[in-house]
Amino acid sequence: MLLSDIEHFKKSAERLNKHGFQMCTHSIGDSAARTILKIYGNILKGVNDKRWRLEHAQVINENDFDMFGKFSIIPSIQPTHATSDMLWAI
């Protein structure tokens, strides 16, 4: 469930990148994470030092792991949520 449409996130990412700000998005679950990782990747275009973050990165599809390194995205993990989210990971 997105709280804003995808265009909102794309435009926000473009605007923040243009002005040199860091973007940090709460993305709970593998589908939300994939959506944001792709948006970040389209803006960042590769390895960088911008330090954009994906919050609540406890549940990520293994096919999406490489996007973190490819686009220098920081997976922010909250250990306390990892224990409550672990059953969803299966």
Residue 9's pLDDT is what? 97
Torsion of CA 60, 72, 18, 23, to 10 degrees: 40
More confident residue, 84 or 65: 65
- Residue range 50-79: mean pLDDT, rounded: 94
β-sheet bridge partners, residue 74: 53
Rounded-to-integer distance, Cα 81 and Cα 83, Å: 5
Residue 68's pLDDT is what? 98
2-61, pLDDT tens digit by residue?
889 999 999 999 999 999 999 999 998 899 999 999 999 999 999 999 999 999 998 899
